[in-house]
């Protein structure tokens, strides 16, 4: 089979230079127990049975903690907490030395010999002497690291130390042991590896963060998804609850049926975006909760009462000031006091997520949208039209966006691979003068089935069509991004991990190849295939972009057929760059979950290639 690709350099057009980004949501333990490097689970003793949809009496303030030893009691108290947002703390009463509080972490503490781990805890002494030892113990109770601390006085004190393990252990536990009989209160017990991503305090797991950074995402959408609008009105993600000292942040139920500490909050999200060179794209609820809210029962029919809308809108304007205002402004100062005097350069703000476009929604969205436009015309609001599928409010969402002239709208689709193969022209007919599109969530999705070469190449095929339409599709992000093994609520996902390992999927490498080989102008092409039947024709795709910064020309070709294809290019006057040509190929059997890209340098620059069966080929022509 031969594919002859005719380039049309005379029709080159400008395209978005921020097409490939990421969408981060604390789903599948992506944040707590995942990217957020905190190792102590339930560090603040704030787990509640109501964090779970089906009330779970074991999921309570002592979850992940236990008392070891005798002559002691471990209770939860709430008299004079460190902060009203964290009302519960642990009380350890001992009548003889020997008993201890033990935390199991998130599936244990994965510690490395010689690495440094930063311990921080709040404590107050209520009776007796306050000498304690804090240790990391192996499964056999061997002490792998230990430090001695002294709690004095009946007011909360913050004690800090560094633990350095003498051996590796994947399933260590953290133990706090008083040396004398007495009564000591503990709260916000925290242990972080010192080597977080970029060394940030209260930072992120370096290996996971680096894997995400390696996609070269141009933007990051956060904190959800469903998590942004929450499970019922009281559960909406409020950015102000997620900043400031950890003890003052307001933890809450995670709509994905666990607990969110918001330790990874807005400051950390902005910081991460800056660290990886991605534009921050926060999503704020449109003053309505998730339409599928189980808590509160009302779903989206009940939006925030009008009496609360003024304050709600002010919170959104405050967020813009927090991100961009000078350090002398009220909210800019809060950011500066947290350690970032320079602005975070917020340009995009999502309002709403997959909402029902009801009157309740429309009224509230319009109020928010108009207020942002008036006070901050420099901010590009991203509206929501949600799932582009039958039975959804996609059309109504577009009508509203057209009416208000919303700059960008967020579309979502999780569809089987066949849908992506058959809908490659999805954006060809979009009105170029209407709102731009952010494809905020998509995946070639077969529920319950892990990602493989077939779904990855289908996404690659579709991405070539997004590149062709990147004059209207400004941004796109695969979803979901992260999933912790044995703690997933959604499959497939892009990057799996456990405490020890990061396991990117084949689909991750597609995102990465498109992320690191993106461009800002598009060279159209047409092509002929020696067997021009529809079935064959739509399983081959090609896109050609130029990266303005380097001048490099990049060609991506997908062959989703079970046989190899020979490519031939008609350059039609386009000068073939003289620099080095690298060819990256991602190929494997359709069910393979382990295929990885292979890179080589190529001498023949004409583009005459054998495209293997089931493959993505990226040719990068370096400009000298």
> CA 457, CA 558: separation in Å to the nearest integer?
7
Return the closest-CA partner of residue 452 out of 340, 345, 558, 590.
590
Subset of 6-65 contacting ligand AHR (CB under 6 A) = 25, 27
Nearer to ligand AHR, 242 or 567 (CB): 242
Per-residue x/- track, 354-373, ligand AHR (CB under 6 A):
x-------------------
Nearer to ligand AHR, 105 or 480 (CB): 480
CB of 479 to ligand AHR, least distance (A): 4
Nearer to ligand AHR, 489 or 592 (CB): 489
Name the CA dihedral angle for 325, 328, 329, 330, rounded to a multiple of 10 degrees.
130
- Stretches 75-83, 223-231, 421-429, 590-598: which one binds ligand AHR (CB under 6 A)? 223-231
Q: Which tokens go with 262? A: 């918001």
Per-residue x/- track, 327-356, ligand AHR (CB under 6 A):
--------------------------xx--
User: How many H helices and E strands in the chain?
Assistant: 11, 35
Subset of 227-246 contacting ligand AHR (CB under 6 A) = none
DSSP character at residue 561: S
- How many residues line the site for ligand AHR (CB under 6 A)? 11
For CA atoms 226, 227, 231, 236, the dihedral sign is negative
CB of 348 to ligand AHR, least distance (A): 17
Print burial letters for 344-354: b (CB count within 10 Å at least 16), e (below 16): bebebbbbbbb
Nearer to ligand AHR, 101 or 437 (CB): 437
> CA 254, CA 472: separation in Å to the nearest integer?
34
Question: Phi-psi bin for 232: left (phi > 0), alpha (psi -120 to 50), beta?
Answer: left
> CA 542, CA 424: separation in Å to the nearest integer?
12
What separation in angstroms does the CA of 464 have from each of 130, 404, 574? 64, 30, 20
* 82: three-class secondary structure by DSSP: coil
- Stretches 82-90, 100-108, 186-194, 219-227: which one binds ligand AHR (CB under 6 A)? 219-227
Query: For ligand AHR, which residue has the nearest CB?
Result: 225
Nearer to ligand AHR, 213 or 479 (CB): 479
DSSP character at residue 342: S
Name the CA dihedral angle for 465, 470, 471, 474, rounded to a multiple of 10 degrees.
140
- Stretches 148-156, 220-228, 494-502, 603-611: which one binds ligand AHR (CB under 6 A)? 220-228
For CA atoms 258, 262, 266, 272, the dihedral sign is negative
480 binds ligand AHR (CB under 6 A): yes
Nearer to ligand AHR, 376 or 487 (CB): 487
- Stretches 80-88, 221-229, 308-316, 401-409: which one binds ligand AHR (CB under 6 A)? 221-229
CB of 37 to ligand AHR, least distance (A): 23
CB of 408 to ligand AHR, least distance (A): 16
CB of 442 to ligand AHR, least distance (A): 10
419 binds ligand AHR (CB under 6 A): no
Subset of 583-622 contacting ligand AHR (CB under 6 A) = none
CB of 403 to ligand AHR, least distance (A): 23
> CA 389, CA 413: separation in Å to the nearest integer?
7
> CA 213, CA 215: separation in Å to the nearest integer?
5
Beta bridge partners of 122: 158, 187
> CA 130, CA 177: separation in Å to the nearest integer?
10
Nearer to ligand AHR, 489 or 521 (CB): 489
Return the closest-CA partner of residue 372 out of 332, 320, 333.
320
479 binds ligand AHR (CB under 6 A): yes
Is residue 208 within 8 Å of residue 495, measured between CB atoms?
Answer: yes
> CA 37, CA 432: separation in Å to the nearest integer?
43
Return the closest-CA partner of residue 611 out of 126, 1, 108.
1
Q: Which tokens go with 527? A: 């092509």
CB of 414 to ligand AHR, least distance (A): 7
Nearer to ligand AHR, 27 or 91 (CB): 27
- Stretches 123-131, 218-226, 524-532, 542-550: which one binds ligand AHR (CB under 6 A)? 218-226
CB of 353 to ligand AHR, least distance (A): 5
Supply φ then ψ for residue 221, to 5 degrees.
-90, 135
226 binds ligand AHR (CB under 6 A): yes
Q: Which of 34, 61, 81, 224 binds ligand AHR (CB under 6 A)?
A: 224
Q: Which of 182, 223, 225, 303 binds ligand AHR (CB under 6 A)?
A: 225
Nearer to ligand AHR, 37 or 443 (CB): 443
CB of 291 to ligand AHR, least distance (A): 10
Per-residue x/- track, 291-330, ligand AHR (CB under 6 A):
----------------------------------------
Is residue 217 within 8 Å of residue 142, measured between CB atoms?
Answer: no
Is the peptide bond preceding residue 480 cis, with omega within 30 degrees of 0?
yes
> CA 64, CA 50: separation in Å to the nearest integer?
16
Q: Which tokens go with 163? A: 């633990």
Question: Phi-psi bin for 270: left (phi > 0), alpha (psi -120 to 50), beta?
Answer: alpha
Question: Phi-psi bin for 59: left (phi > 0), alpha (psi -120 to 50), beta?
Answer: beta
Supply φ then ψ for residue 537, to 5 degrees.
-55, -45
Per-residue x/- track, 177-216, ligand AHR (CB under 6 A):
----------------------------------------
Nearer to ligand AHR, 128 or 225 (CB): 225
| R_g (Cα) of the chain, nearest Å | 27
Just list the catalytic residues.
354
286 binds ligand AHR (CB under 6 A): no
CB of 577 to ligand AHR, least distance (A): 39
Per-residue x/- track, 488-527, ligand AHR (CB under 6 A):
--x-------------------------------------
Chain centroid to CA 45: 25
Nearer to ligand AHR, 448 or 573 (CB): 448
Per-residue x/- track, 432-471, ligand AHR (CB under 6 A):
---------x------------------------------
CB of 18 to ligand AHR, least distance (A): 20
CB of 444 to ligand AHR, least distance (A): 14
Nearer to ligand AHR, 419 or 490 (CB): 490
Contact residues toward ligand AHR (CB under 6 A) are: 25, 27, 224-226, 353-354, 441, 479-480, 490
């Amino acid at each position: 089979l031969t594919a002859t690709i005719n380039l049309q350099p005379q029709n080159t057009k400008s395209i978005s230079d921020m097409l490939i980004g990421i969408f981060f949501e604390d789903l599948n333990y992506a944040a707590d127990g995942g990217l957020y490097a905190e190792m102590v689970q339930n560090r603040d003793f704030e787990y509640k049975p109501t964090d779970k949809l089906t009330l779970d009496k074991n999921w309570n303030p002592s979850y992940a903690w236990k008392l070891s030893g005798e002559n002691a009691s471990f209770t939860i108290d709430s008299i004079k907490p460190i902060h009203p947002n964290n009302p519960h703390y642990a009380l350890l009463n001992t009548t003889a030395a020997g008993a201890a509080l033990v935390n199991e972490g998130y599936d244990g503490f994965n510690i490395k010999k010689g690495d440094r781990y930063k311990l921080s805890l709040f404590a107050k002494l209520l009776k007796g002497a306050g000498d304690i030892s804090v240790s990391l113990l192996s499964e056999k109770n061997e002490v792998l690291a230990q430090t001695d601390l002294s709690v004095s006085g009946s007011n909360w004190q913050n004690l800090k130390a560094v633990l350095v393990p003498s051996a590796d252990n994947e399933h260590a536990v953290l133990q706090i042991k008083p040396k004398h009989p007495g009564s000591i209160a503990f709260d916000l017990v925290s242990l972080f590896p010192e080597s977080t991503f970029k060394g940030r305090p209260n930072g992120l797991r370096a290996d996971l963060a680096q894997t995400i950074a390696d996609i070269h995402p141009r933007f990051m959408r956060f904190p959800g998804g469903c998590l942004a609008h929450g499970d019922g009105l009281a559960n909406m993600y409020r950015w102000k609850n997620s900043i400031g000292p950890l003890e003052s942040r307001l933890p809450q139920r995670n709509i994905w049926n666990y607990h969110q500490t918001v330790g990874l909050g807005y400051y950390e999200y902005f910081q991460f975006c800056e660290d990886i060179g991605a534009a921050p794209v926060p999503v704020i609820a449109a003053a309505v909760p998730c339409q599928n809210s189980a808590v509160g029962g009302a779903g989206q029919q009940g939006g925030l009462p009008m009496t609360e809308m003024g304050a709600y809108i002010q919170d959104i304007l405050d967020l813009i000031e927090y991100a961009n205002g000078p350090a002398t402004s009220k909210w800019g100062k809060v950011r500066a006091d947290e350690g970032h005097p320079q602005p975070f350069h917020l340009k995009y703000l999502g309002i709403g997520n997959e909402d029902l476009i009801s009157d309740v929604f429309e009224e509230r969205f319009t109020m928010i949208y108009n207020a942002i436009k008036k006070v901050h015309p420099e901010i590009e609001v991203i509206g929501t039209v949600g799932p582009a599928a039958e039975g959804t409010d996609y059309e109504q969402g577009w009508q509203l966006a057209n009416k208000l002239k919303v700059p960008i709208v967020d579309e979502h689709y999780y569809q089987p691979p066949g849908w992506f193969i058959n809908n490659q022209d999805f954006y060809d007919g979009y009105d170029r003068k209407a709102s731009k599109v952010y494809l905020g969530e998509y995946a070639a999705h077969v529920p319950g089935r892990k990602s493989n070469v077939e779904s990855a190449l289908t996404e690659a095929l579709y991405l070539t069509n997004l590149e062709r339409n990147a004059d209207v599709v400004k941004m796109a992000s695969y979803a979901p991004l992260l999933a912790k093994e044995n703690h997933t609520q959604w499959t497939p996902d892009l990057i799996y991990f456990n405490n020890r390992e990061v396991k990117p999927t084949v689909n991750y490498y597609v995102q990465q190849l498109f992320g690191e080989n993106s461009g800002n102008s598009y060279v159209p092409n047409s092509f002929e295939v020696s067997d021009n039947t529809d079935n064959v024709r739509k399983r081959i795709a090609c896109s050609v972009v130029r990266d303005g910064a380097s001048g490099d020309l990049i060609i991506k070709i997908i062959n989703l057929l079970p046989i190899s294809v020979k490519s031939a290019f008609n350059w039609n006057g386009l000068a073939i760059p003289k620099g080095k040509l690298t060819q990256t190929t991602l190929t494997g059997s359709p069910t393979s979950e382990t295929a990885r890209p292979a890179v080589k340098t190529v001498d023949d620059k004409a583009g005459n290639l054998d495209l293997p069966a089931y493959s993505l080929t990226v040719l990068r022509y370096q400009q000298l």
